Structure formats: structure tokens, C-alpha cells
């Protein structure tokens, strides 16, 4: 056992304590797919019964989408030293279009594997990498276009469905499934998510299923406008700190709160080794910005970057299993002077590196000139593109300017190229944008990039709240998600100020789960309102425990409640701390209901005949005005 | 000195320490109006110079709207025991349409004044109340309709303007004042706020200036769609706790973070005395829900409420100086059964009290049947209506339903009645509403209530995040503010769970300042982008101190920064903790600028001739591609 493994044992112990305990009163269930090894995780939140005069009335369990992987499954045996089980391995193998290499084919990968100086940091159970057989394309887009429904596609269809069809047939869910009509701005949300629907969305490029063949530990998920809106959490070390074990811990923590994908943005030491530990333990897609590592290889000097170094980095990372690459191929030399008049110039790290390279060499961005070769590499591992917005606005003043939109147009051109190679593509978006200018971003992306999924950072709707940019940006994220963005990149309270700690990560993720869910509701995603309805019913019935447990952060809700009313008895009390025992609107409403029921008011008649105009008529009927929910 | 005064001395000492210290690197300035006693406060944030190769370049001070009253003015002598100076007293007196009463004219007010049991709690410097002379109307709406520009109107015109005209003529602000075009959905935002514009907006009912003649301590402010969006912070004790001194402390704390008005929602002990302390020390309008206190007077039994008790409560509170009353006169008997099928019934406290009363008596809501008498009382003190939404939805499921909209239509009818009495009116709105249904609320309010200012709670855009409802609702608040809502009632993280502590209040207010400001930007409020532009420029230039100080919460921003890089030297460093010293996009961009300047690139030519197609052309020009901002 090397030094880092020892370090990890400590982390593993910690994981057991605060990060991986199951969600309260919930259990991990698996939807069985068409083959025994296709089991789709779901979190089922149990509810307590509603006490009524006629006895307790059961409340059914509420299924919720679950990003947390095996970590929250008490049945699963977690061993960070070995990594997660390779659930996709058989699917990939059966396709028989890949070959297992003897070892890493990147120069850097080989050098690192042989480097005694980093041996103490190395993940100890590295599998040899897979690559497409010569001439083969192994992307989900390729299969989709060939009419093949892969196990990955079936998996995400079941995952997005969350058993909705079954629930619709179950009378216990009838009222809970009531939902307002959405406004989806021309999206094509289905009534149910079938494998064929998934295949078709991937085939036409309107969704991506990021799933590197070297990431068999992945629980497949899909990113597209016609599915549940996803969120990404960033992590990664920097020159200023944090260890490999800390990054893995941060990842598991992020998944617990609901990150659908993780980007490893490490720029510090041991980037290669950190990534290996992350991917081997990641049930979600991992994205990277390869230019960050390439820059480290040339000692931080952008002008020293070469295509060869970058190319080797792509292969190195693809063979580790990175699922999507941010590639800033749209930062063209001719775009750079368009940023001259900006208030905040170029704020994307990738964008500024490439702008500097272009100027230093008086040449076009090498990512653009080598784009076809990049596609050739990525299709051999099924790495998806996240075409980077290197010229995104870093302030409201710079929003929607010529530089930003020129780059977006170029990303559209590159989307077509990538699709010609059957490589999956999503498009990165801003940034800082005032509300009235957000929709133009979405509309332009849809038209210029042919409905390829949009993946935005926020946007932040004001610049004036450092310390609260999870909120300034959740406002924009909810809106752009509603308009059609498929994935929202989170922002933590420390944005612009410092490195997020665990609490910051949690707050950033919850803010983005809120934004994404608000967007799902507004779009009218089937079943989206179920959890809201269940929680509100619990709230109204003073089922405090259920109100906590159905929330996005049960631990926080309970803690806040207990700060005012710590006693356990308060959690079954028919009042809350805001109004106290003698003055509670919900209690009064319940009294109104009971009163009305005793009075025998015929509500059906009242409703059927329009409004009840006089009190005399109102109280003269039969039955109850409030139905028991 | 009585017991509470002693208590207050302690609070006052605390105020000096953490609540009233001036904002960092800022000073309180006063805009001089047309008369010596008309001085409008403004906070001016100083900036440090930008170092350049040619020496330091000054950055001008940034004016920001200031709700904090004298508390943040180091020149002001704060004495909570005596209350704030009565800045409006002369204006009210000079109008010569009011009389000073011998003492409280409400029965309850007289009884409390004479009650030895509460003597130890009493504010010791109570002025006798004023009331309109018989037959006179003393509302700002009355003056406005009579063509009179009151000092209050001039005050708010200067306050909303924030010296914008001067700044426009000052070359130092030229670039900083650049702003994107807004989308205001048919609002009538002016280019500059003149007293005549203010008068006209009040006359037509499109804005209110809540300013009770018994609240001379008030620094006037305006609530209307064509002005800066305002926010309200709630406080108040409950049966479960908090003292009078704590409430006053919470108020001052709320003002510090930016509450434009305060609602005192006390339902616990000593409501009357608490309110007196609050108003005497309040530079902002104070709103109440009189039915809460009326209910306490009948021991919490809604059915025991009478018009007489309510009427006496209105007079009691009006004579203390409450600036606006929430009156739930739209909860009609015929509306109650419309809530029968709801998931969360009636969640408004006022709404449920009145529904219960209506059912118990089989009679129409007495606030509705006595509405003209209510108007007669309110016009004698210039108390504004906040027509309550007693049937607002308490869950997404209940949004925009028949009950909610039937009540809104009734509020429109009542608006006309109130305006016939020349009483100012705003309209309260929901609640819980998914994003796609928010605009319908605004549109219906504008048409049914004739553009009377809308004042909404959130709305919360999802029910599933207890513990984070400041965020779920800031998303909705930003949108409805953009669509035309004039004031946003804040929600704290403890909403639905417990009583907010000071930190919760701060987070709730900042979240709402963000929402309101995002709305101002989106509407295109003149000058709204100035602070964003200044902060972003500071951020780009690594002026860390200025970035903190220009933000909504300088203390939090600094603390977050220092958590990663605590040394003072880091605050002048040209890098930040996210990327570290060797890898910083902003630094790289600056290097790109310098490089480009050295290369002598003729950006003007490049921009004028369209995009620079080839690198050779790009570097062949003169001048710089980046201008120093």
C-alpha cells in the first residue's frame, strides 16, 4: 500500500460518516432493465401516514432522480482504493468494436506510469485502456444514427422516466401527479421517455450521452433540452492547495447534493494522478479542460503550447476515461480584437490562453486548425465535445457582444464538423448577462448550433454581489434552463473570491438544483411537479419529517427547524415557530375545513353553480367544502 | 429610566459596534433640495486609483441608494431612547391641514398609555398624535391630484435620481454609465426622475409614497413600477420569543443590508409598545397587518373579532405612525369554497382569520363591508393600503387558481374605491408560482388593479427546497420585478421552518437586493448598471478592496476572499486564489493587452474594416487593440 492509499483509507472512513449516509427515510431502489446487468438507481423517499378521523391514510413513496451513485447505498461496498464496479464493461465489450491496449498510448501517460517519483500517488488498480478498433466509431451518436439502442440509451430512458408510467396507473399518485401546463419555447418534451426517443435525440444531436469507453464505472445520463435539466459541479486542485483525497471527497460530496456531472479543473500538482482517482470512483460523467493540463506541461507559458503536446494530452485523458472535453476551438485570431473595448476582456482561462497563443504566433488557434484530428481522437473513445466559450462575457457590460456571438457562430460551424465525425457535442455559454438579454443567447445558440445542447455557466444577472454569486447566477440559470439550456454549470458563493470549501459546494449545488428544477417545472417536464405536490401536502398536514425529507437538503431543513423548536414533539405539532401554537394560518385553515365539513356545506353544488353569492346559500348545502387530499 | 430603556442602552451600545459602523470606504452624503431642511441621503463609495504605466488613474466615487438612515452616518448622534429626529415635522406642520390631538383617540391606545403594568416597556418620548382637520384629506395622493409637489415628492425625486444628471455631465463617468437597453413590458420609465414625474405617478395611482403624518422620522421613498424596485423585510415577535430591543436591533440590521420598508408582524406580547419603539426609530416606512393585533385582543379567536375592535386598532396604529396597512378586504365569503380543492388551502394568516370569521358568522368579510369607513380613517393620517392577498397560493399546485384570481379582481374593485377617497394603494401578490405562470400574475394585476403598484412575496418557483427559500423565491422575485412589480417582500432561508436570526435576515435581504437590482437592470432603469460596471472594472483591474466595497455585502466578500488568501498583500496581488499566481485568466488577458499594445496593432482599423481575417494583417497595424478603460 502506497502513501496515497493510506491517505485514502482515512478519506474512506470519513466518507462513511458524513458523506455517504443514506438520505433520511429513503432507500435506493433499482429499476430493472431488459438485461440483468441493467439496473437503474432511483431514490425513493418514504412518507409517513396522514392521521385522519377515520384512521391513518397512507402516503406513497416519492421517487426522485439520484446522482449519488453507490455511495448512498448501504448495500454497496465502497472501496475507494479499487474504484467503483465497472457496470458498463460488458456492454462495451459486447459491442466488439474496441480493443484493449497494452498500456497508455500517450507519451505522457506512459511516462507517468513509469515515474517512480509519483508512484506513491498512483491509483493501484489501473486497467489498460480501450480504444476503437481501426476505422471503428464507438460513439453513442454513431450507434444512434445506425439505429442501435445501446444499453446506455435504455438506461437513461428508464432513469429519466423515474417510473412515471407505473405511477400514473397507481391511484395513490393521481392527485400528486397534477401538474401545470408548461411553456417550453419549442422544445419537444415527450409524454414518456422511451429508449427510441433517447436514440432519436442523440442521433440528431439534440442530446448527448457522455460515456467514454474507458469509464465503465459510469451510470449513464443524458444532457439535452428534452430531458430533465442537469447541473455540473466543478472541482480540482490549484497551485494554492488541496490534496488528491480531498478532491475525491469533494466529488462524492457533490454527488450527494445532486451534481449530474463533475468537471475536474485541476491546475495544480499531480493533475494526471488526481484525475485517475476521480474517474475510477465517479458514477457520473467527468469533464475536463485539457488545455489546462497542457499548459502545466509547458510551465504555464501559453506561447510554448504545441499541437503535439495538446494532442498527447487528449489521448492521455481519453484513455483515462474523461467523458467530455472543453475545447476552445472557437477562439479565432480574428475574434481577439473584438474584445478590445470590453470592460473585462477575456475572462475564460482557456480563452485567454488561446488568445495569447494566437497573438504570440501570429497564427490561427491550433484547436481550430486541427479540429478534424481532434474529432478523430475523440470518436475513438467516445469523448463528447463541450465546445468552450473562451470569449464569454465576464461582466454585464460585455454581454452579447460581437466577440461572444462571433465565437458562438464558429462553434456552430464546428458542431457540424464534429457531427460529420459522429462525435457528440454540447455548446458552452455565458457568463454574465442581464435578464432581458438571456433569451437572445438561447435563441442564437439553438439556431447557430442546430439545437446541440447548451451548457451555461449561470448566467449571473448582476455583477454587484460577490459572495452571493450562487444567487445572482441561479436567477439567470433558472431562466436559461427554462428557455432550453440542457445543463447548468454551478457557481458557488466563493465565485470571484476564493476556493470553495465543502459548505460552499453544497450551497452552490443546491442553488443549481433549485434553478434546474424550476426550469423543469416551467418547461412542463412530465412528472416534475410530483415532489413539489408531495412536499406541499406534507407541509400542509404538519408532517414535518416528510417536509424535511422531501426537500433538496433534508439535513439543513431539519437543522433550521430545530434551531427554533428543538424538541422532537415539535415535529408532530400542528403549528410551527413562525406563528406559535395559538396563531397559525395552516391550523386555522384546517379548522375552517373541519368547520365547513361539520356544517355540511355542499361544495360540489357551490362550485358547479358558480360562486356562492350569499352566506345563507353557502351554508345551506350538504357534504364538505374541503376534500381530504 | 424604566426597565426597557435600560435594555435599550445595551442594544444601543451593540448598534455602535456591528450594526451601525459606516460601510467600508464609503461616506454618507446629502443631496440638498430646494429648502434647507430637505437633504436626501446617499451613500458614496470611494474607489482606489488604477495603477498604469503613466501613473495612477483616478476612479470616481460611486453613488448608491441608501436605506440605512442616520445609523450609518458617523456624524449622527443615535439615541434609541429618544428616537430619530423628526425630519418631516415642518413639512407636515406647514401644510396646516392637520391638528395635534391631546392624546391617542383609540380606546386601546388610551388604555395602554395609562396601564402601569406596561410602563416599564414604554417609549418615553411619545408625541401626541396628529390627525387631519375635519374634512381634510392629507394623503400624498390628494396633494398630487391637487397639483401640489410636496417636499416628500421632491425628496424621492432626488433620491431616485441619485445625482444621475450630474454624473452624465462628468467625463469620469462616461464609460461607467454605459448600459444595455432594457425591456420594460410597457412601463413608463423616465430618463430622469423629476418632482413633477413623481407627482404625476402618485396622482394616477401608479406609485405610492407611504408617509403617515405621525411618522415624521421617515426618509421618504416611493413604490412604483417606474422607479427603482424596492424590497421589504419582515420582523416582529411571536408567542415563542424575542424582546422589544431585539426587534429594534433587527430593524436597524435590516436597513443596513438594504430593506426599503419594514413590516412589523408581531403576534406576541406587547405589540403596541414594540411598534412604538420601532416607528420612533425607523427612517423607512413601517407596515403592519392590523388584524394580527386585533386577533390578539380577542385572545386569538377569529370568530370573536368585531368591526369595532378592528376599527379601534386601525386608529391606534395610525396614530402611532404606521405607514401602510395590509387589509385583507378581498377575502369574500364566496371566495372561500374556491379553496376547497387546494393542496395547501389558505396559507395567509390574515386570509385564514377572515375566512374563519366569515364562516362562523355566515356573513361577508367585515373589512369588505366597512371598506369606505376604513378609507375614511386612513386618509386622515395618510396610511397607504397594502391590499392583502389572503387567498394567495401556498404551493405551486394552487398557483393562479380561481380563488387567487377572484380575490385579485376584488382588490381591483377596492382600489377604485380607495382612490375615490384619495387613499394610496398597493396590491399584494403571491406566493408560490412556477416560472411560466408568473407573468400572468403581473399582467392580471396591472389590468385588474389599474396599474396600482404590485407588492409580491417572492414568488417561490418551487416548493422542494425548505432551507433555501430565499433562493427559490429570489428567482421568482427577479422575474416579477422585471415584469413590473414595484416591491418585493423578502423571504429568509428559515421560511416554512423557523424564526430568522440576524444572519438569516441578512441573507434574505441580500438575496432580495439581488433580485430587485437584476429587475432594475432588465427594465433598463436609468443608471442601474453604473455599480455593476464599476465593480467589474475594479475586478478586472485586481482592485480587490474596491470589488469588496462596491458589492452588496462588502464584509462577506472580504471574509470569503480572506478565507483563502488572508494576507493583506493578496489584496493588491494581480491574481486570485482560484487560479493561483501562475495561471490567471484575467492576468493573461492583461498580458494580451500589453502584448498587443507593444506590437502596435491598429485595432481601430481592424474593427472598422470588419474582422481581421489573417494573422499577418492583424499584427501589421499601429496603436493598441485594448484601450485603457
The tens digit of pLDDT for each residue in B519-550 reads: 999 999 999 999 999 999 999 998 999 999 99
Q: Give chain B's length.
A: 629
Determine which of A300, A498, A500 to mutate to test the interface with B (most B C-beta atoms within 10 Å). Answer: A498
Percent of chain B, pLDDT > 90? Answer: 76
What is the arithmetic mean of pLDDT over A306-333? 98
Q: What's the confidence (pLDDT) of residue B612?
A: 33
A54: pLDDT strictly greater than 70: yes
Looking at the complex, report in whole angstroms how far the Cα of residue B64 sits from the nearest Cα belonging to chain A.
11
- Residues of chain A in contact with residue B493, where contact means CB-CB under 8 angstroms, are 560
A8: pLDDT strictly greater than 70: no
CA-based Rg of chain A, rounded to a whole angstrom? 26
Determine which of A271, A547, A588 to mutate to test the interface with B (most B C-beta atoms within 10 Å). Answer: A588
Looking at the complex, report in whole angstroms how far the Cα of residue B291 sits from the nearest Cα belonging to chain A.
12
Taking only the tens place, the pLDDT of each residue in A411-435 is 999 999 999 999 999 999 999 999 9
> Which string of DSSP letters, residue by residue, matches B551-619?
SS-HHHHHHHHHHH--SGGGGS-SS-TTT-TT--HHHHHHHHHHHHHHHT--HHHHHHTSS--SHHHHH
Do A522 and B475 form a contact (C-beta atoms < 8 A)? no
Pairing mode, strands B39-45 and B62-64: antiparallel
A294: pLDDT strictly greater than 90: yes
Of the candidates B35, B383, B444, the residue with the CA atom closest to the CA atom of residue B210: B383
Confidence of residue B462 (pLDDT cuts 50, 70, 90): very high
Helix, strand, coil percent values for chain B (each to nearest 5): 45, 10, 45
Contact status of A565 with chain B (Cβ, < 8 Å): yes
What is the arithmetic mean of pLDDT over A84-111? 97
Do B328 and B271 form a contact (C-beta atoms < 8 A)? no
| Virtual torsion, Cα A33, A37, A40, A46, nearest 10 deg | 100
Of the candidates B581, B326, B195, the residue with the CA atom closest to the CA atom of residue A240: B581
Q: What's the confidence (pLDDT) of residue A607?
A: 38
B540–A436 C-beta distance less than 8 A? no
Nine-digit cell at B110?
A: 388610551
Of the candidates A194, A195, A193, A215, the residue with the CA atom closest to the CA atom of residue A91: A215
Q: What's the confidence (pLDDT) of residue B628?
A: 32
A586–B347 C-beta distance less than 8 A? yes
Least confident of A223-232, A595-604, B616-625: B616-625
Looking at the complex, report in whole angstroms how far the Cα of residue B616 sits from the nearest Cα belonging to chain A.
7
What is the arithmetic mean of pLDDT over B25-47? 97
Residue B420 burial class via C-beta count within 10 angstroms: exposed 0-12, middle 13-18, buried 19 and up: exposed
- Terminal-to-terminal C-alpha distance of chain B: 59
Say how far apart CA A72 and CA A86 lie, in whole Å: 17
Average pLDDT, chain B: 90
Residue B300 burial class via C-beta count within 10 angstroms: exposed 0-12, middle 13-18, buried 19 and up: middle
Do A70 and A283 form a contact (C-beta atoms < 8 A)? yes
Confidence of residue A579 (pLDDT cuts 50, 70, 90): low
What is the arithmetic mean of pLDDT over B428-437? 97
A436–B482 C-beta distance less than 8 A? yes
Say how far apart CA A482 and CA A468 lie, in whole Å: 22
Q: Cβ–Cβ contacts within 10 Å for residue A617, how many?
A: 17
Determine which of B592, B607, B609, B625 to mutate to test the interface with A (most A C-beta atoms within 10 Å). Answer: B592
Grid cell 454540447 — which residue?
A426
B466–A551 C-beta distance less than 8 A? yes
Say how far apart CA B34 and CA B19 lie, in whole Å: 32
Of the candidates B131, B152, B142, the residue with the CA atom closest to the CA atom of residue B320: B131
Do B323 and B262 form a contact (C-beta atoms < 8 A)? no
Q: What's the confidence (pLDDT) of residue A564?
A: 81
Q: What's the confidence (pLDDT) of residue A4?
A: 66
Taking only the tens place, the pLDDT of each residue in B244-257 is 888 899 999 999 99
What Å distances lie between residue B231 and A17, B285, B538, B623, CA to CA?
42, 11, 27, 48
- Residues of chain B in contact with residue A347, where contact means CB-CB under 8 angstroms, are 540, 585-586, 589
B579: pLDDT strictly greater than 90: no
Say how far apart CA B593 and CA B628 lie, in whole Å: 9
Q: What's the confidence (pLDDT) of residue B452?
A: 98
Contact status of A466 with chain B (Cβ, < 8 Å): yes
Kindly give the residue spans of alpha helices, DSSP state H, lying in B258-370.
271-280, 290-297, 307-320, 349-361, 366-369
Q: What's the confidence (pLDDT) of residue A602?
A: 44
B601: pLDDT strictly greater than 90: no
A580: pLDDT strictly greater than 60: no
Chain B residue nearest residue A577, CA to CA: B498
Say how far apart CA A422 and CA A384 lie, in whole Å: 10
Least confident of A418-432, B296-310, B365-379, B570-584: B570-584
Do B121 and B2 form a contact (C-beta atoms < 8 A)? yes
Pairing mode, strands A454-457 and B98-100: unpaired
Annotated binding site of A for Zn(2+): 432, 496
Percent of chain A, pLDDT > 70? Answer: 87
List the single residue in A361, A551, A585 with the smallest CB-CB distance to B464. Answer: A551
**Peptide bond preceding A431: is omega within 30 degrees of 0, i.e. cis?**
yes
Say how far apart CA A555 and CA A561 lie, in whole Å: 10
Confidence of residue B568 (pLDDT cuts 50, 70, 90): confident
Grid cell 427546497 — which residue?
B465
A445: pLDDT strictly greater than 90: yes
Contact status of A493 with chain B (Cβ, < 8 Å): yes
B599–A514 C-beta distance less than 8 A? no
Looking at the complex, report in whole angstroms how far the Cα of residue A454 sits from the nearest Cα belonging to chain B.
20
Looking at the complex, report in whole angstroms how far the Cα of residue A608 sits from the nearest Cα belonging to chain B.
11
Nine-digit cell at B419?
A: 382612490
Q: What's the confidence (pLDDT) of residue B587?
A: 66
Contact status of B510 with chain A (Cβ, < 8 Å): yes
Q: What's the confidence (pLDDT) of residue A61?
A: 98
B557–A295 C-beta distance less than 8 A? no
Looking at the complex, report in whole angstroms how far the Cα of residue A526 sits from the nearest Cα belonging to chain B.
14
Confidence of residue B20 (pLDDT cuts 50, 70, 90): confident
B239–A618 C-beta distance less than 8 A? no
- Residues of chain A in contact with residue B515, where contact means CB-CB under 8 angstroms, are 475
B450: pLDDT strictly greater than 50: yes
Annotated binding site of A: 234, 263, 292, 328, 348-350, 389-392, 428, 432, 455, 496, 576, 579, 584
Taking only the tens place, the pLDDT of each residue in A223-282 is 999 999 999 999 987 765 568 888 899 999 999 999 999 999 998 888 999 999 999 999
Say how far apart CA B463 and CA B443 lie, in whole Å: 23
> Which string of DSSP letters, residue by residue, matches A315-383?
HHHHHHT--EEEE-TT--GGGGGGGTT-SS----HHHHHHHHHHHHHTS--HHHHTHHHHHHHHHTTTP
What strands, in cross-sheet order, belong to the sheet with A62-64? Answer: A26-32, A39-45, A62-64
- Residues of chain A in contact with residue B588, where contact means CB-CB under 8 angstroms, are 302, 346, 349, 352-353, 355-356
* Stated pTM of the model: 0.94
Average pLDDT, chain A: 90
- CA angle at B397 for the pair B391 and B400, rounded to the nearest 5°: 50
Least confident of A52-56, B233-237, B397-401: A52-56
- Residues of chain A in contact with residue B351, where contact means CB-CB under 8 angstroms, are 585
Displacement of CA A542 from its chain's centroid (Å): 32
**From its phi and psi, is residue A27 left (phi > 0), alpha (psi between -120 and 50) or beta?**
beta
Q: What's the confidence (pLDDT) of residue A355?
A: 92
Contact status of A340 with chain B (Cβ, < 8 Å): yes
Nine-digit cell at A220?
A: 449513464
Of the candidates B238, B248, B245, B295, the residue with the CA atom closest to the CA atom of residue B269: B238
Taking only the tens place, the pLDDT of each residue in A71-97 is 999 889 888 889 999 999 999 999 999
Q: What's the confidence (pLDDT) of residue B121?
A: 85
Say how far apart CA A208 and CA A449 lie, in whole Å: 14
Do B155 and B219 form a contact (C-beta atoms < 8 A)? yes
Contact status of B132 with chain A (Cβ, < 8 Å): no
What is the arithmetic mean of pLDDT over A202-231? 98
B563–A498 C-beta distance less than 8 A? yes
Q: What is the DSSP letter of B452?
A: P
Contacting residues for B50 by C-beta, under 8 A, at least 6 apart:
B56, B57, B59, B541, B543
Taking only the tens place, the pLDDT of each residue in A502-536 is 999 999 999 999 999 999 999 999 999 999 999 99
Taking only the tens place, the pLDDT of each residue in B54-106 is 888 999 999 999 999 999 998 898 888 899 999 999 999 999 999 999 999 99
Confidence of residue B322 (pLDDT cuts 50, 70, 90): very high
Residue A6, classed as helix, strand or coil, is helix
Contact status of A576 with chain B (Cβ, < 8 Å): yes
> Which string of DSSP letters, residue by residue, matches A105-136?
-SHHHHHHHH-GGGGGG--S-PPPPEEEPTT-
Say how far apart CA A384 and CA B380 lie, in whole Å: 70
Helix axis angle, B244-257 to B271-280, nearest 10° = 40
Of the candidates B288, B285, B283, the residue with the CA atom closest to the CA atom of residue B230: B285
Annotated binding site of A for [4Fe-4S] cluster: 576, 579, 584
Say how far apart CA B101 and CA B134 lie, in whole Å: 12
Confidence of residue A35 (pLDDT cuts 50, 70, 90): very high
B518–A462 C-beta distance less than 8 A? yes
Say how far apart CA B436 and CA B450 lie, in whole Å: 23
Backbone angles phi, psi at B83, to 5 degrees: 85, 175
B465: pLDDT strictly greater than 90: yes
Q: Largest Cα–Cα distance of chain A, in whole Å? A: 91
What Å distances lie between residue B314 and A470, B141, B309, B386, CA to CA?
42, 20, 9, 13
Q: What's the confidence (pLDDT) of residue B425?
A: 98
Complex-level ipTM: 0.93
Three-state helix/strand/coil letters over A457-483: ECCECCCCCCCCHHHHHHHHHHHHHHH
Burial A78-93 (b: 16+ CB within 10 A, else e): bebbebbebbbeebbe
- Chains A–B, number of C-beta pairs less than 8 Å apart: 503
**From its phi and psi, is residue A263 left (phi > 0), alpha (psi between -120 and 50) or beta?**
beta
What is the arithmetic mean of pLDDT over A589-598? 65
What is the arithmetic mean of pLDDT over A323-340? 94
**B residues 208..247 contacting A (CB < 8 A):** 238-240
Do B71 and B20 form a contact (C-beta atoms < 8 A)? yes
B17: pLDDT strictly greater than 50: yes
What Å distances lie between residue B544 and B56, B516, B551, B562, B584, CA to CA?
16, 25, 11, 11, 15
Contact status of A346 with chain B (Cβ, < 8 Å): yes
What Å distances lie between residue B251 and A279, B15, B67, B256, B257, CA to CA?
50, 11, 11, 9, 10
Amino acid at each position: 500500500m502506497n502513501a496515497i492509499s493510506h491517505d485514502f483509507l482515512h478519506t474512506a472512513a470519513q466518507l462513511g460518516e458524513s458523506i455517504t449516509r443514506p438520505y433520511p427515510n429513503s432507500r435506493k431502489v433499482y429499476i430493472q432493465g431488459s438485461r440483468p446487468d441493467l439496473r437503474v438507481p432511483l431514490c425513493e423517499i418514504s412518507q409517513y401516514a396522514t392521521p385522519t378521523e377515520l384512521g391513518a391514510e397512507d402516503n406513497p413513496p416519492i421517487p426522485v432522480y439520484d446522482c449519488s451513485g453507490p455511495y448512498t447505498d448501504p448495500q454497496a461496498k465502497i472501496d475507494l482504493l479499487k474504484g467503483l464496479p465497472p457496470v458498463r464493461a460488458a456492454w462495451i465489450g459486447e459491442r466488439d468494436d474496441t480493443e484493449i491496449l497494452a498500456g497508455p498510448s500517450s507519451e505522457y501517460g506512459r511516462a507517468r506510469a513509469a515515474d517512480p517519483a509519483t508512484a506513491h500517488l498512483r491509483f493501484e488498480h489501473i486497467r489498460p485502456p480501450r480504444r476503437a478498433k481501426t476505422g471503428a466509431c464507438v460513439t453513442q451518436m454513431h450507434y444512434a444514427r445506425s439505429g442501435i439502442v445501446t444499453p446506455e440509451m435504455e438506461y437513461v430512458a428508464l432513469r429519466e422516466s423515474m417510473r412515471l408510467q407505473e405511477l400514473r396507473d397507481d391511484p395513490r399518485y393521481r392527485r400528486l401527479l397534477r401538474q401545470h401546463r408548461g411553456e417550453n419555447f419549442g422544445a419537444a418534451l415527450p409524454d414518456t421517455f422511451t429508449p427510441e426517443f433517447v436514440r432519436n435525440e442523440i442521433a440528431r444531436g439534440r442530446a448527448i450521452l457522455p460515456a467514454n469507453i474507458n469509464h465503465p464505472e459510469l451510470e449513464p445520463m443524458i444532457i439535452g433540452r428534452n430531458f430533465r435539466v442537469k447541473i455540473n459541479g466543478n472541482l480540482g486542485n490549484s497551485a494554492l492547495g488541496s490534496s488528491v483525497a480531498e478532491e475525491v471527497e469533494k466529488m462524492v460530496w457533490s454527488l450527494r447534493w445532486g451534481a449530474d456531472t463533475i468537471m475536474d479543473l485541476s491546475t495544480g500538482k499531480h493533475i494526471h494522478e488526481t484525475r485517475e482517482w476521480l474517474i475510477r470512483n465517479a458514477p457520473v460523467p467527468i469533464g475536463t479542460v485539457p488545455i489546462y493540463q497542457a499548459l502545466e506541461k509547458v510551465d504555464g507559458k501559453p506561447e510554448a503550447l504545441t499541437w503535439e503536446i495538446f494532442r498527447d494530452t487528449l489521448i492521455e485523458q481519453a484513455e483515462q476515461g474523461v467523458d467530455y472535453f472543453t475545447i476552445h476551438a472557437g477562439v479565432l485570431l480574428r475574434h481577439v480584437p473584438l474584445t478590445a473595448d470590453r470592460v473585462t476582456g477575456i475572462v475564460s482561462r482557456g480563452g485567454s490562453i488561446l488568445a495569447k497563443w494566437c497573438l504570440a504566433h501570429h497564427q490561427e488557434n491550433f484547436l481550430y486548425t486541427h479540429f478534424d484530428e481532434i474529432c478523430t481522437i475523440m470518436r475513438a473513445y467516445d469523448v463528447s465535445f463541450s465546445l468552450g466559450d473562451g470569449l464569454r462575457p465576464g461582466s454585464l457590460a460585455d454581454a452579447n457582444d460581437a466577440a461572444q456571438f462571433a465565437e458562438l457562430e464558429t462553434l456552430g460551424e464546428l458542431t457540424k464538423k464534429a457531427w460529420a465525425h459522429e462525435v457528440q457535442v454540447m455548446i458552452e455559454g455565458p457568463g454574465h448577462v442581464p435578464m432581458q438579454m438571456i433569451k437572445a443567447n438561447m435563441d442564437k445558440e439553438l439556431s447557430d448550433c442546430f439545437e446541440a445542447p447548451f451548457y451555461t455557466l449561470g448566467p449571473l444577472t448582476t455583477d454587484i454581489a460577490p459572495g452571493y454569486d450562487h444567487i445572482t447566477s441561479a436567477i439567470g440559470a433558472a431562466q436559461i434552463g427554462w428557455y432550453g439550456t440542457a445543463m447548468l454549470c454551478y457557481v458557488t458563493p466563493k465565485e470571484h473570491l476564493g476556493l470553495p470549501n465543502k459548505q460552499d459546494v453544497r450551497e452552490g449545488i443546491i442553488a443549481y438544483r433549485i434553478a434546474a428544477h424550476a426550469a423543469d417545472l416551467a418547461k412542463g417536464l412530465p412528472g416534475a411537479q410530483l415532489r413539489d405536490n408531495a412536499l406541499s401536502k406534507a407541509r400542509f398536514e404538519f408532517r414535518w419529517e416528510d417536509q424535511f425529507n422531501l426537500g433538496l437538503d433534508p439535513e439543513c431543513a431539519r437543522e433550521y427547524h430545530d434551531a427554533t423548536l428543538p424538541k422532537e414533539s415539535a415535529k408532530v405539532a400542528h403549528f410551527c415557530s413562525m406563528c406559535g401554537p395559538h396563531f397559525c394560518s395552516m391550523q386555522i385553515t384546517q379548522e375552517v375545513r373541519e368547520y365547513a365539513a361539520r356544517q355540511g356545506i355542499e361544495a360540489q353544488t357551490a362550485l358547479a353553480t358558480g360562486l356562492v353569492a350569499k352566506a345563507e346559500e353557502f351554508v345551506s348545502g350538504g357534504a364538505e367544502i374541503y376534500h381530504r387530499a
